[in-house]
Structure 1
């Protein structure tokens, strides 16, 4: 009897583990992430949400509005990018959702859409404790006024709470950013580069750059044609484009995919430097002082109507190279190469757009970076570089 009891207990435990695994979070929209499940009319005062849990799957605090079709702000119609509904956060207002069944110590990326409605310097504070960052959203990168943003965090527990807060202090307490379409994606950790202690790398398959082809990145909405912005964060934070860092005070880079019609030099994804010299794309790499290295990359245009000079400057150690590219806005790229000698145990590889470029509709654009690799060079080449 005791044996049967142990077997039954093991069976129930196996069922429990299977059930937990089956409920693991999936990539895509969060529950009611697009706000299409509306509050009851009894929990709305006009557009203002009056009940703390009125929006299904969400908790609200402060002056939060539920925006529907044709809603106006003065003479301006507030457009919704996906579906029929969105929310607007007034001064010090926030929305939050509990995320369950996460894998502990795993990194996740949140993608959401936002539009500025009032202030010139609107921001959003995004938090999954203990991590928190303020994302600048004052620059508009699309003609519709809506942009998709990404943010990443490490799950310390299986259940966490995502909080999005408007820290604004507008004269109109109801004035603030519109939000829509929240999604999540599990991020795969970048592969560890091979050690440089005892040999040099001579083939692209031994690429020392992690995620050099940018295939690992934030979730991109299937129905959003404008890509996803990766905003600047503190260098210690985990980026949705890890281990690449976005170095800027207020500007972002744009993550693009071929599935939405963009011209991508290699694979399915690339990065567009849309903010001119105000933003740099960078990665720190372990190197051996005195050794020689070769950086190669593709620079071109995304086929999105970005016309003109899209020169890219690349930096590594004490070396730099300028790669010119004249864009017709229809796609295409050139390869850039930089040979350099390392002088430290860590070298920062940096890409910068050398011009501010706009499309015909007045939105910012710039060169595309893709297929970046860093390999070691023979010692005889390193000696020549050190001369």
Structure 2
């Protein structure tokens, strides 16, 4: 059940990125962006799919309560809808989903900026409605809700245009005018993503290094390491690609490469959404990560305290990680096949991860 919910969460992130990315780009004057074509049918399907996938956490709670309390199914559904934050969140989400669907169905958001901006506004409301039932909100209601919602909003706002331009772009005209506003926009979004992410960690993972003992902490570490090649590709697409536009370079393939790391992060985030955050009161009750145990060479106990200390092996692995960061950038400058740069990016994650684990 948990794995199924993780899949629905991952797909939900992709849906929101497509919706936010489409509506944001259609809100911008056409001379400030490359031409894109996202059919109305696709936007409607993604909107409906987002509504259906939003049931995942709600169904999870209903099934758990129904088994635990042994009351009727409809009684459980009513109880969750009326008394649980996940029920309130779902009700608001579905309301905004219906309004968004009608807006897209009855208007041409691909040609009329006003309706594209209205659709963007409803998409934002849907994200904030979903944030009401997040992990962070359950631990610290309003601050947690705000940090989670702002975090995901800016992730979608930044990642969405990248996915759309990577996969739904008609040409790469107006690329320089687009980069002129999107590059500082991306830097600002990444700054807010980082800030809100740090606030969320204060509630969800107050003891970051010790969380590595658990599966949640291992996944969170991998997610953070995936940000490294993602930022590298953002640098390539935001700055280095300008030099090659006049030579006929297709920037779309580099955006597709960046989108692969975005999708990888969405996948790990979806996995995290269905795992218990590592607090002091859960560490002793939660099984340690098999991955951690396979790489940890010391004596293990449930109350182990982790103190990373660099050694020759970790220094070597970190150096390799830096080398492959350089190779990723160098390969983009030399116009090597994009798949090679993607491979280098994942090697950056692997060597960085092994370097951290070797320091424990």
* Fold shared by both chains (TM-score > 0.5): no
- Which has more strand, going by share of residues? 1
TM-score by length of 1: 0.29
Which structure's relative contact order is higher, taking Cα pairs within 8 Å and 6+ residues apart?
A: 2
- Which has more helix, going by share of residues? 2
TM-score by length of 2: 0.31
